[in-house]
Structure 1
Amino acid sequence: MDKTEIKDSSHKLVRDVTAHLSARRNAIRELQNTEPTDRRVLTQNALLAAGRTLIANNGVAGASVGDIAKEAGFTRGAFYSNFTNMDHFVSAVARIEWQSMLGDVEDVLAGWNYERDNPIDGAVEILLTVLPRDRERYLLWNEFSTYEIRFPQASDDISEGSDNFYRALGEILSTILDAFGLEPVGTLEDLIELIVALSSRSTRNEIIDDSRSPQRGSSSSLIGRLLPDLIRAMTRPAGAQSS
């Protein structure tokens, strides 16, 4: 094969791959924009619920299409009738998870009484209530983050959902601080990152402690001890000038 033939073959391969990716993106958009029937909604919900559990326990790599369909009580055909591929499915699981977490936070804040003698204690009390610290949610957070790192091109929807959640969490945290007459010393985004990191480490310790030795104590004591100091160090009375 001469250079011209090689060049032509390379161009054809690029065109074929591009066409394939375009077709896949169009198929995903079509599925996402289609109004499902009641029966289809039930099927999708069952698949998503099964997938959530399998992904949390086994990771994305350990949750095959066959396993998800079997766990939900359907065939592989039912899966592909509702989701184009695993990328589409994982994105759907992540989107629902972010929405659920945000809904939980908003539900708590909607009925909260902001009257507290100590503004730091009041802010900590709310944050300890709204931060997601259960086992499955912790595992899903980590799995989605790992998926974003490993497959950046396939995880645009996951990244978008994560960004939207953190943006909303920022608005919620700002509301909490405003209610207690506080403001961040630095940026609100940095404060959120620190709080989430502390919550994540506490949850990790709690899961391990519970499985190894319950007598070691709950990791809630870790976040309970450090979160007040973190809020105190990273906030100040609203309108105060930094020294």
Structure 2
Amino acid sequence: DPPSGKWVLSAIFPTGWRTEEGRRLFIHLVEDITVRKNAEEKLRQALDGTIMVLAATTEVRDPYTADHARRVAMLARAMAGEAGFTAEQTEGTCVAAQLHDIGKLYVPVELLNKPRRLTEVEMNLVKMHPRIAHDILRNVVFPWPVALIVLQHHERMDGSGYPAGLTGPDILPEARALAVADVVEAMSSHRPYRAALGTDAALAEIAGKKGLLYDAGMVEACLRVFAKGFVFP
């Protein structure tokens, strides 16, 4: 009964006994779990605060990356619903999406904002950001595999991604969803080295690479989301 400030766990179990009239007897157990629920709520608030601080740290240094992360999280949540993720999987995917580029805190800002395409050496520096993010996030106690999702969000189904060159079966479903959402948002938006390519081009890209670079189910989920009217803010 949350409005009263109390949480009660109630359970009814049948027994093998019956009354003289032949009615089955049941045992009704009631436990006050208010203290436990309040503790869980405090832990959740602390976790939410940690997520906000980490996300805000990125925004101070690179507003574009922070805005990109918010938009990716919105699309990832919608895709998770279409893909049939559980509530826990959905929440973990969204948190990972908010934090997936936090490793760019350690990438020189002039590279992130360079108005031309990066050289191979520069790109290799940028490609370090999933591992850096993983090293940061693995020290935070999440109820979801956030650090691993973030580590894998640039992996591709055919093994051509980075940092580990994983193939489909070894990539978490949440990371597969995040990979698609990340690409679609990035192509749809302005980048320092090019104008926005637009949503249609982004969707054509993932559809054309469905099953090769991107998980087929996640691509289909993304396409359905946009067909139903999803738009980036």
Q: TM-score, normalised by structure 2?
A: 0.26
Higher-helix-fraction structure: 1
